Amino acid sequence: MENNSQINFENFLKEKSFSKDQLEIRKKNFEKFSTEGFPNKRLEDWKFSDLNQIIKNNIKNFNIDISNENSFDDKDIINDFDHNKIFILDGKVIKEDFSFEKKKSIKLSVKKEIEDTIYGNTLLNLNSALNEENISINVTEGYQSVAPLIIYNIYSDKNHNLINNKINFNLEKNSSLKIISLSNENASSSFLNSNYDINLKDDAVLKYYSLNFKENSNIIHSFSNINLEKNSHCEYFILSAGAKFLKNEIKCSLNKDFGSAFINGVISLDKDNHHEIKTIINHNDENCKSYQLIKCVLNDNSKGIYQGKIFVDSKAQKTDGYQLSRALLLNENTEFNAKPELEIYADDVKCSHGSTSGNIDENSIFYLMSRGLSYKQSKQLLINGYVGEVVEKITEDKIKNFIKKLLGINNEY
């Protein structure tokens, strides 16, 4: 593979002090990645986003010898509400602050070892081969977090970085955590490859907000594997707006009864940006609920994609699954692709899916202009209302208002 040869894996291994077993696991994962390469449109899951071609067109040489220059500015710290903090520089934890929480109730651990796993996903193979820190965040049984945790992902101000990030989130029984993932995006024309494992025990509640909103030229892939046990709940929100290319993949498995997962997202693009959200919801036990609402606002030559699948196992009776994607196309050069799927093997279920796309309603713009607004103000007001339906699903008011501010929804005319 042409691109793979540009990753100097052997030099990477020489510079790190991995154990013999770890070296073997990393080598096997890299060999699998090297054999199969970056995903391309021949793969069904990547039929709308040829990552191999995108990287060839944008990155000529990968830089994996990153010097960890701290390019983070204090102005990037969110001051809208109190929160705990973790600062991750080029995939490595450099600082933590859990001052709003009870001591030892939320534990952060870092190790160099990776799992003894050879993945079937080449980007996870690449992540396992090259990530330098396996980060774990654990919430102890019965603990309800007080303030949100913001993860500040910081990247060195260099070109063509190849950064692989691995974080495990483990919530014990009857615990809760609110997480916001942000990045400064100072790197340019880099490939940022993240792998998240999320495990929720009985009665645990996770609220996770992935926000990519700063304009940048990076190519980003994020994979989240979520496992829910009995009566646990996951609220997952995506704001996908800033990067040149971004694909969010979410695999969510409802493994025990009365689990629930709400996955909502906004893709807001202009120029020639290309973003995709792909979800798989596995209903593996009875009486579980899933809800998905994805909305796209596309302008200029941008491209938005949503692929969503609801799988219902034969024993998952009383399943309630809902999925809807909608796209607002602001000019004729935009492109929206959707692939909604249902795969159901139980007979007592309530499942639905749908997808729509269309242009902005000129009659509504005319009506608003007749009430004194300009054309630009009328158009923006309609866009805000369209996107606002998704943002209103957020159950944390302070975070909801912060995201509204990012999207300009609070503007008054």
Give 157-170 as a 3 state SS string: CCECEEEEEEEEEE
The Cα 95–Cα 73 span in angstroms is 14
Per-residue model confidence (pLDDT) at position 411: 53
pLDDT of amino acid 156: 81
CA 39 to chain centre: 18
pLDDT of res. 61: 81
Dist CA 298 CA 146 (whole Å)? 37
Instruction: Say how far apart CA 186 and CA 164 lie, in whole Å.
Output: 16
Integer Cα distance of 394 and 388 in angstroms = 10
H helix count then E strand count, the chain:
7, 19
Distance (Å, rounded) from C-alpha 211 to C-alpha 372?
34
Q: How far separated are the first and last CA of the chain, in Å rounded? A: 54
Query: Which of 272, 271, 319, 276 is CA-nearest to residue 296?
Result: 276
The per-residue pLDDT for 67 is 58
Classify 394 as helix, strand or coil.
Answer: coil
The two structure tokens encoding residue 133: 């820190």
pTM: 0.94
The rounded distance, in Å, linking the Cα atoms of 195 and 249 is 10
For 88, the 3-state DSSP assignment is strand
- Per-residue pLDDT, 236: 98
Task: Measure the CA–CA gap between 176 and 234, rounded to whole angstroms.
Answer: 10
Q: For residues 100, 103, 109 and 115, what is the CA-based torsion angle, rounded to 10 degrees?
A: -100
Residue 27, both tokens: 């080598």
Q: Which residue's structure tokens are 């996951």?
A: 234
pLDDT per 10-residue tile (average), the chain, 413 residues: 62 85 94 95 95 91 69 77 94 94 96 89 95 95 98 86 94 98 83 96 98 93 98 98 96 98 98 97 98 98 98 98 97 96 97 94 92 93 95 97 91 49
pLDDT for 184:
75
Q: Residue 210 belongs to what H/E stretch? A: strand 205-212
Q: Which of 238, 306, 354 is nearest to 49 (CA)?
A: 306
Q: Whole-angstrom Cα distance, residue 387 to residue 379?
A: 12
- Give the three-class secondary structure for 362: helix
| Total Cβ atoms within 10 A of residue 340 | 18
Nearest in space to 290 (alpha carbons), one of 239, 237, 238, 235? 235
- For CA atoms 240, 331, 218, 81, the dihedral sign is negative
